[in-house]
Amino acid sequence: MAPPSGSGLSLPLEQALIERMKELHCLHQIERIISTSQGTIDEMLAEIVTTIPAAWLHPANAIARIRHGDRRYQTGELERCQSVQSSEIRVNDRVYGSVDVGYTDRFDDASEGPFLAEERLLLDTIATRLGSLVARELAEAGWIDTLREQELLYRQLVTVLGGMAEMRDPYTAGHQKRVANLAVAIGAELGLSPEELEGLRLAASVHDIGKIMVPAEILCKPTRLTCLEYDLIREHAEAGFQILKDVAFPWPIARIVHEHHERMDGSGYPNGLTGDQLLPESLIVAVADVVESMCAHRPYRAGLGTEAALREIEKNRGLLYDPAVVDACLRVFRERGYRCAGPDA
């Protein structure tokens, strides 16, 4: 099967999975450094730069550099590199530096010179996360409004992460955005505050971020999945939690991502939690995800339509899905005229 558009080199399935795990490990390492370090920002950046090359397809030939003002942190001489990709570190639309990765040798063309498309998104994610670190430094110096700037950067981080997941699965491009829109509509119907709605929107926007660990060949498979392939996809809720758990969001985003496939009766995954153990936002995203997924087309089936999706949540109201959330969703569609993409939209 040909790779989806924008996927870069067509890697064997096992190698593609290895590359996704390398990218996850890199993000985990960066979050660990930021969340546990007691040192200065210079010490953190010096440690972070050493974690970056291992996440690239050709780590033995990769050199990483972080620029922060007039300071440089690097694993080698970037000037030696045949090809370089860069991403700016920004705070309040002002450039404070960059993250650069280069190869000392030439390699076959991928989507961006010798680099994989996923590596571009990973680099952008790292740059956005470092932007929040720089913002914290500036805030401590009294140069910016801490809360306002941090929230802006976290929103940018969520946007980049959401793009990473969407890129792995072109058939469901826009799925996370549509789930976010529906989740916010349900949340508003339930009377959530503006601050709660913002956290709900951001969590729903990255609820499938863990799918970056799943090879595109499985995500885009035009036939039914095998049990082994399905089990691999089920790991995305746990993987998403691991990616996000160390980011100090002002909302419980990691937990919502972790719980969006749990069900009221404990039959969901990854932990078999029951309704009384779940966040209200998790219950909302669960319903929004099911409805949008049934409405949307998939590689192996056409969209089933809005009415089929609403019948599903009605049938399992109180069993799989929270009754109040189901009732609010039904009102959003049947009384407020909400529509989602699908064959009958």
Domain ranges, residue 136: 1-144
- For 211, the 3-state DSSP assignment is helix
Judged by average pLDDT, the poorest of 265-269, 325-329, 335-339 is 335-339
Last residue in a domain, options 89, 120, 144? 144
The pTM (predicted TM-score) of the whole model is 0.67
The pLDDT confidence band at residue 18, using thresholds 50, 70 and 90, is confident
| Most confident option among 107-121, 129-143, 197-211, 286-300 | 197-211
- For 137, the 3-state DSSP assignment is helix
| pLDDT for the residue numbered 343 | 41
| pLDDT for the residue numbered 53 | 97
Answer yes or no: do 55 and 166 share one domain.
no
Q: pLDDT per residue over 145-187, tens digit each? A: 555 666 777 777 787 777 776 666 666 658 888 999 999 999 9
Last residue in a domain, options 144, 170, 192? 144
Judged by average pLDDT, the poorest of 2-16, 82-96, 239-253, 288-302 is 2-16
Helices (H), 300-344: 306-315, 323-334
Answer yes or no: do 149 and 48 share one domain.
no
Q: Are 326 and 184 in contact (CB under 8 A)?
A: no
Last residue in a domain, options 110, 126, 144? 144
Answer yes or no: do 136 and 224 share one domain.
no
| pLDDT for the residue numbered 288 | 97
Residue 192 clears pLDDT 90, i.e. is over it: yes
In the chain, how many domains are there?
Answer: 2
Answer yes or no: do 200 and 306 share one domain.
yes
Sign of the torsion formed by the C-alpha atoms of 15, 17, 20 and 24: negative
The pair of three-digit structure tokens given for residue 256, joined into one six-digit string: 């919502």
Indicate which CATH number applies to the domain containing 185.
Answer: 1.10.3210.10
Residue 345 clears pLDDT 70, i.e. is over it: no
